[in-house]
Amino acid sequence: MLDLRAITAGYTRSTPVVRDVSLSVAPGEAVGLLGPSGCGKSTLARVAALLHRPDAGSVVVDGEPVRRWRHRAPREQRTAFGVVFQQARLSADPRLPLADLIAEPLRATGRRQGSADRVAELAATVGLTGDLLTRRPHEVSDGQLQRACLARALVLRPRWLVCDEMTAMLDASTTAALVRAVEDYRSATGAGLLAVGHDRTLLDRWCDRTVDFTSLSTAVPRKAADR
């Protein structure tokens, strides 16, 4: 279970962007998270993926409370997550050919053995041909780079996937291919998914349930509290 309990988080203590929000994702479940722009979906997704420390509340992953965040989180917890962001170019090292970009988490965790086979297998899963694997990010399209970023997110076989607007910049056929790759991975492994997006039709089709960010908070609305 991925359990977010009464999370308050943001960028300054005095004005949190996420206030008292709770959300659970069961193993194997796909949950879509919708909400207006700027409401705090990405911030909550980053908390869920252990990339942003909340100011209050707790995150419990497979029964283990999270006590440390980002690079300080224990490797076992950190590597339980695969994360894909909207803007592939911001999350890809421009110096790395796509094959190395996909293999990055294997290198970072000292699991180089068999990495070429794993990269080839994942490239096929996400629909990247061999000629693209030797190119650097500036030599491929946004859709091709996002395919590589999804392959990178899957390379350590995470139990949880967090896809934050993964397909927002992409055309319909690339969107369909990436969603299919995520679903193939989930049906093979039983991984759970938190998918953040704007497109209710896509999320309803993709996920077991879709929740509205604004319905998740038990905090008193700020205007009423300030009165």
Ligand X SMILES: Nc1ncnc2c1ncn2[C@@H]1O[C@H](COP(=O)(O)OP(=O)(O)OP(=O)(O)O)[C@@H](O)[C@H]1O
Cα 39 to Cα 36: distance, rounded to the nearest angstrom = 6
Residues 6+ apart with CB under 8 A from 163: 83, 84, 182, 193, 194, 195, 196
Kindly state the smallest distance separating residue 38's Cβ from ligand X, in Å: 4
Using the rule CB under 6 A, which residue among 29, 34, 43, 178 binds ligand X? 43
Encoded tokens for 197: 């997006």
Is the Cβ of residue 6 or residue 17 nearer to ligand X in the bound state?
A: 17
Is the Cβ of residue 4 or residue 102 nearer to ligand X in the bound state?
A: 4
- Assess 120 for contact with ligand X (CB under 6 A): no
Kindly state the smallest distance separating residue 166's Cβ from ligand X, in Å: 12
- Assess 54 for contact with ligand X (CB under 6 A): no
Dihedrals φ, ψ of 189, to 5°? -115, -15
Kindly state the smallest distance separating residue 110's Cβ from ligand X, in Å: 31
Tell me, by CB under 6 A, how many residues bind ligand X: 10
- Assess 38 for contact with ligand X (CB under 6 A): yes
Using the rule CB under 6 A, which residue among 16, 40, 127, 158 binds ligand X? 40
Q: Is-contact 197 19, C-beta < 8 A? A: no
Encoded tokens for 50: 């252990």
Kindly state the smallest distance separating residue 196's Cβ from ligand X, in Å: 7
- Assess 175 for contact with ligand X (CB under 6 A): no
- Stretch binding ligand X (CB under 6 A), from 41-49, 112-120, 177-185, 187-195: 41-49
- Assess 79 for contact with ligand X (CB under 6 A): no
> Under the rule (CB under 6 A), what is the footprint of ligand X?
11, 17, 35, 37-43
